[in-house]
Amino acid sequence: MKKYLIPGIIILLLSFGHAYGFEISGLQPLAPNGIFATFSTSSLPKGHMSFSADAEVSIEPNLTKFFLTGAYGITDSIQFSMNIPYVLGSTSPDGFEDIALGVQHRFFDEGKYGPSVAYIVTASLPSGVDAFTTEGRFGVGILLSKKIGPVNGHANLFFVMPGKGELDNEVAFSAGLDFAATHNFKILAELYSNTSYKTGKVESVEGRFGYRIKTTDYIYTTV
């Protein structure tokens, strides 16, 4: 029997650091696998699907992003994912970003001392409005995950090439952990940094904190 996981709304409560411009969302992880923008190497079992409706509030720039994300387990170690982002801004036009697609493959399982390892291949369709599009893009990433007691740690490194020839390539690094405070409650922390498409320099360094509640067997709420 197929199972459907429907994670709840995500609202990013706290971040620190600096940001120099609008950040393209790209592919996003689905709860409970991953933190905010950091992927875990875990994937859905074969034949299972997951859906998520999320929101992210940013202070600078002042905007709100909405995401509709889905994933499907092709095998127990290969997963297909899709993300459809929409932006509402006080000083920018409203509209869709490019639709992001990706395939993730875990090729090395976690051992007693070593982490599990996966790679992910991503692509974005040139479907966004002019203010929020790179006219498509292609990327690859490496994912690491390790469980130590009640803590799951994850680290990601991505390299992304935009479709617009005048834009620079993007390099993004993120690391996060979730701490199982109780059976149904996890504390989340994440560090995220990426380079800018426009300047090629570091665009943002952010610390993100929140928590995740397992509301039912198939519903997760992350704040």
CA distances from residue 167 to 94, 137, 155, 160, 170 in whole angstroms, order as listed: 22, 11, 26, 11, 9
Give the pLDDT confidence score for residue 22 in this predicted structure: 59
62: number of Cβ within 10 Å:
11
Q: 132, 125 in Cβ contact below 8 A? A: no
pTM of the model: 0.85
Q: Residue 100 corresponds to which tokens in the numbers above? A: 């992001």
Burial of 34 (0-12, 13-18, 19+ CB in 10 A): buried
Q: State mean pLDDT over 71-85.
A: 97
Has residue 45 got a pLDDT over 80?
yes
**pLDDT value at position 90?**
64
Tell how strand 49-58 and strand 4-5 pair up. parallel
pLDDT score, position 120: 98
Rounded distance between C-alpha atoms, residue 68 and residue 66, angstroms:
7
- Please report the domains of the chain, with CATH numbers, ordered by start residue: 4-222 (2.40.160.40)
pLDDT above 70 as % of the chain? 88
Q: Average pLDDT for residues 150-165, to the nearest whole number?
A: 93
